Homo-oligomer: A and B are copies of this chain.
Amino acid sequence: MSGFPYTNKQFLLIKYPSEAVTPDCFELHESAIEDLANNEILVRNHYLSLDPYMRGRMSKAKSYAAAQELNAVMQGGTVGEVVASRHPSYKAGDQLVCGGGWQLYSKINIEQEGEGVRKIDTSQIPISAYLGAAGMPGITAWYGVNKICKPQSGETLVVSAASGAVGSVVGQLAKQKGCRVIGIAGGPEKCTYVVETLGFDDCIDYKAFPETEDLSAELLKLAPNGIDAYYENVGGYIMDAVFEHLNPFSRVAICGLIAGYDGRSIPIMNPRAILVARASVTGFIVSDHLDLWPQALSELAQVIDSKKLVFRESVSEGLETAPSAFIGLLQGQNFGKQLVKLI
């Protein structure tokens, strides 16, 4: 034994869900951590990010991300602090964001796996924000707004999952561009938050409009001049309802289709809307555009720092709660960016 004084806890994925994710897909393991080899660092993870894309990986089906292997640690973004280092560029106390996974400690060989490791400055921005508005979800919002939706002042933009980590940033960025912004979220509490705290013009509680036709009628009331840009996080009948109001030359950014993540693929019922509106519907994954991250992060940090960008976190306490928090996220039970506090 090396005497290296760290004990890890980690969740492995032990089976792929057939439909909805269930707690027995995961198994908690505890093990001693072996001493570092050359070029390795050991990170104590402070927060784990839970994100809808993880559901897409829990399958052998073709997806944009590599499949999550069975009997391996669940992958996921983390922020944390270096506790031991055998790499010259890192020292104990360095704070960083990395793909640490669902575990307390992550051992990373910087030369081999260092691509996703980035040091962060927490003097102005809290460490957890680097998993949200100042991290991957924020950049995801930034990319879809600036590179796909391209909303112009005076246009109407709609965003689904509006109170979430991505949607909340989407709407605020669009408001800053002078758009009329309508959110779609689940429940009156989230809708009130979206309008009163985030400053969207309106927010529709989709649970109050459970059919395409009802939701479409409500959209017509709130967007009487039609919809110029749509940022899609959800899919299903919400997308169908929005599609009925697309203006000529409108832009749809497909960021996520969480409605279909439980193994069911939910159709677009009226693709003719794309033709009638001469719309562009573009899927994207923010990790394809790493070249734009520095620009995006710098713009986001600026508006976070100056309090022009508000965000909210839903923090689950302790690694043991990760599976239930993740299942809740897929069911829309979170309110803001879903994190797990690991320390």
Q: Please tell me if A265 contacts chain B, counting CB pairs below 8 Å.
A: yes
Contact B280 A280 (CB under 8 A): yes
- Copies of this chain, count: 2
| Cβ-defined contact, B276 with A283, below 8 A | yes
- A72: interface (CB < 8 Å): no
Residues in B with CB closer than 8 Å to A266 are 271
Question: Once bound together, how far apart are the Cα atoms of A255 and B260, in whole Å?
Answer: 27
**Contact between chains at B271 and A269 (CB < 8 Å):** no
Indicate if the CB atoms of B269 and A257 lie closer than 8 Å: no
Residue in chain B with minimal CB distance to A236? B271
Which residues of chain A from 286 to 321 have a CB within 8 Å of any chain B CB?
Answer: 288
Contact of A267 among B257, B271, B281, B282 (CB under 8 A): B271
Query: CA–CA, A133 to B272, complex, Å?
Result: 25
Interchain CA distance A132-B99 in the complex, whole Å: 56
**Bound-state Cα–Cα, A249 to B289, Å:** 12
Contact present for B267 and A269 (CB under 8 Å): yes
**B285 and A272 contacting across the interface, CB-CB below 8 Å:** no
Q: Is A28 an interface residue (CB 8 A)?
A: no
The answer to whether B284 touches A278, judged by C-beta atoms less than 8 angstroms apart, is yes
Question: Does residue A64 face the partner (Cβ distance < 8 Å to B)?
Answer: yes
Known: A267-B269, A280-B280. A275 touches B257 (CB 8 A): yes
In the complex, are the beta carbons of B275 and A283 less than 8 A apart?
yes
A279: contacting residue among B260, B276, B282, CB under 8 A = B282
Q: What residues on B are CB-neighbors of A274 within 8 Å?
A: 254, 281-283
What is the minimal beta-carbon distance from A20 to any residue of chain B, in angstroms? 17
Question: Closest Cβ of chain B: how far from A158's Cβ, in Å?
Answer: 17
Q: Across the interface, which residues of B come within 8 angstroms of A288, CB to CB?
A: 248-249, 278
B-chain residues with CB within 8 Å of residue A265 when the two chains form the complex: 269-272
Q: A254-B271, A271-B235 are in contact. Are A285 and B281 (CB under 8 A)?
A: no
Question: Is B271's CB under 8 angstroms from A279's CB?
Answer: no
Contacts of A254 in B (CB 8 A): 271, 274-275
| Interface contact B257-A64, CB-CB below 8 Å | no
Which residues of chain B come closer than 8 Å to A278, judged between CB atoms?
64, 282-285, 288
Residues of B within 8 Å of A239, CB to CB, are 271
Closest to A284 in B: B278
Chain B residues whose C-beta falls within 8 Å of the C-beta of A275 in the assembled complex:
64, 254-257, 283-285
State A257–B282 Cα separation when bound (angstroms): 19
Let me know if A225 is at the binding interface, CB within 8 A.
Answer: no
Q: Which of A's residues lie within 8 Å of B, judged by CB?
A: 62-64, 235, 239, 248-249, 254-257, 260, 265-272, 274-285, 288
Closest 8 CB pairs of A and B: A267-B267, A275-B283, A268-B268, A274-B283, A281-B281, A280-B282, A265-B270, A268-B271
Q: What are 29 A-B contacts with C-beta separation under 8 Å?
A: A63-B276, A64-B276, A64-B278, A239-B271, A248-B288, A249-B288, A254-B271, A254-B274, A256-B275, A257-B271, A257-B275, A260-B272, A265-B269, A265-B271, A265-B272, A267-B268, A267-B269, A267-B271, A268-B268, A274-B281, A274-B283, A275-B284, A276-B283, A277-B283, A278-B282, A278-B284, A280-B280, A280-B283, A281-B282
Given contact pairs A265-B270, A278-B283, enumerate 13 new A-B contacts (beta carbons under 8 Å).
Answer: A239-B271, A256-B275, A265-B272, A266-B271, A267-B268, A267-B269, A268-B271, A274-B281, A274-B283, A275-B283, A275-B284, A278-B284, A280-B280
